[in-house]
Structure 1
Amino acid sequence: MSIILGFIYWSTIVYKTQQTDDDINAEILELSKVYEDKGYPGLVVLLSERIERLRPGDPTLYLLTDHRYQPLVGNIAPWPKVARDVKEGWLEFQLEADERQGGDREFTARAKTFVVENRFNLLVGQGMKDLTTLKALVGRALILGLILTLALGIIGGFMMRQTLKSRLGAINLTSRKIMQGDLRKRIATRGTGDEFDELAVNLNSMLDQIEHGMEGVRRVSDNIAHDLKTPLARLKNRVEVLKMRVEQGSEEEAAVDQIILEADGLLATFNALLRIARIEYSEQRKGFKKVDINSILYDLEDLYEPLIEEKGQTLSVEIGTPMEMFADRDMLFQAFANLLDNAIKYTPQNGQIVIRSFQSEQQWQVEISDNGPGIPESEYEKVVQRFYRLDQSRTTPGSGLGLALVFAVLKVHKLDLAFQDNHPGLKVIISANPREISELERTVNEVRSSV
């Protein structure tokens, strides 16, 4: 826009300057014809007549001097004290106005000079007051136009930014929910057919493909667990029958006991897989009701206190104000139990385990911390994946599904799971935003009312 406005300014001033030059050239042409026809006396008479007819404020300038630049006839004096312009005798200069010019006391003039018979110097020009005024007017108009353009650009940019923020905000909000694990979320379209709708359609198609692929992988693992659970249970029963037929205290009995132990581990793994699948697909949250989180923590303390004492550990429970939410109590109890069981498993003898809960205006929070070996920060996001186990824990019993089950339970309840270094040990943080809890309660009530 600056380039366009600059071109307008330049072309306007150039046009006016050219018009002035054309007028001066026309005057000079007419004076030269008079000089050719009537000589010096005729030129002087014509100049005198024209000067007499000039009105105050008329921009036309005449000056005839001798070879020493002494004025003979003219309405300006003396000869301008400026260097001659090398371009065809053109020059610009400042003049003091007399009473006949009127207006400003000083003005800019543009003139052309030439020599008559090597004896006289003739100057014909025009005052540039109109051009100067035009320059100022056009300059101010263009500056105001540029300011207006800038203001409109800022307003338009702000409006466009708000539009982009609104459309992209909806996409980002949905994307965050999808990243949190809710693959069923889709980006809403407005039906306008614009680029944002096209982007939303493409992203939704991509999400459909991803969800379909992940559902296939989940169903394969769930079907394997379901299909193998029954024959594995039969195998265990037959091995237990076989145990009754072998001699007690023999090597055969020890081998059978080991087979039964391995079968129990496999059954526990399959049960955990099926449990996770049921949790992930429990869309209606039928078992949800008002639950006091602190009561679950007290029950955990009562249940695990004998085991903690047996291992020579200490358990400290710091319970804050009552915290209630819509939840499946059995699911939450299982999730908290898995976390506490991990803390007991990896905390050394004489170690300390702390359960702490508190509530603020922003959120409520439950912490389970220990002073065991902990988890490297780089592994925090991986330990909630199915069958993922740290290298140092591969020699201990387990299937790598405990934290995956915890993550599935908390996701259904819209709770956040985080890990922190306890220096030493690990601190597991379960937190909830009251707004999310209220939204969950509203969703559960809507589902129940629709059913």
Structure 2
Amino acid sequence: MLRLLRTTTFRVALLYLCLFLGSVGVILGVVYRSTAGFVESQLHEAIGEDIGALREQFDRRGLPGLIDAVRVRSAAPHTNSIYLVMAPGGVALAGNLSGWPGGAPDEQGWLHFTVADTGGPSGGPATARAVSFALPGGLRLLVGRDMSELDSVRRQIVSSLGWIFAVTAALGVAGGVLLSRSVLHRIEAINRTTRRIIDGDLSGRVARSGNGDEIDRLAGNLNAMLDRIEGLMAGLRQVTENIAHDLRTPLTRLRTRIELTLLREDEEPEAYRAALQDALAEADRLLSIFTALLSIAQVESRAQREDFRPVDLAEVAETAADLYEPLAEEKGLAFTTEIRERPVVQGNAQLLAQAVANLLDNAVKYTPPGGRVVLTVDRNRVTVADSGPGIPPDQRDAVLRRFVRLDDARATPGNGLGLSLVDAVARLHRAHLELDDNRPGLRASLVLPEA
């Protein structure tokens, strides 16, 4: 319960409860003023009319006329009016009170006093409200009304309003507790899942209620994040295995060549030079693998996003085309560049150029002599289409992983990191890489978000 009371949900519910109770208090005050206050104002008006009539009698007929009028009014059956004419010596001359009431009047001159301990509603005290004023000759006149029923009604109203306020507060606290327990239960489910993940179980997922509220959306985002983390961990394990597999062969060949060179008994310089050149080629191949891996790691760290600037996509494509057009012509390929628009995108020009170069490198490398390669720039899309063997639809997701090479590409030099780097650059730029069938060949498109 203590942890429940410390939750943010309960505090927010308590804050709204205070605001609601404040509004309820204002409403109840208005209700009280419109009921008891209205009746009290009616009584004051009635007392004022009595005072006016008695003053008129006193002005016309003097003290005898006033005493007669008070006696007549006091003797009326079932009257709730109170009258008293008091002489200077404290002698009651007329009225239905035995003596002058005690207590001091309020700011408006009204006296609220108890007439008798019994006689009110339900056996309660009999109370009255009256106003007094002085007459010539030291006389005093008191005119009032019986307030027993009104005071009883007022007490009932106050008691009812108090109960309403208390029940509202209790319901608000209970609702806050229930709401906090519900939210706390869902948050504890998230905490249990995260603790399982901290302990090494990446298969845990947060259960979703399906109602689409903010906690449900949070659970969906956490699950998506966990899927991403699990995929990255699986990819890391696969990359580690692939690195061990792909580097073992060139390292073995490198060691073998060095060992054979050392075991040679002849001293021909050309033989040693050839062996060293082979070893240097293997070392260069190893360095290219590590360079590609480092480039992918730097791109995936997303540090280059701070260097984004407006980039002319057509200029990037033209620069890459200038590098690969001679290679394509040397291989006997028809190389075409089509710049339909010159879009400007936010990005890293060097990385975008490297991505386009990798797409062209794959197209030139795998397209047989006599084929064609077409580089197209259209709006926010750079497309490289070739007439090579293409990639089967069921293998297009796999080739984006590191060190993955199709069986047909095993005989071609490469390390299986080109498309992985292109995909990493695309995700860095919030773009995506599309691989489609060119019939025949492959159509690879780098689609960037429009500026």
TM-score norm. by structure 1 comes to 0.46
TM-score in terms of structure 2 length: 0.46
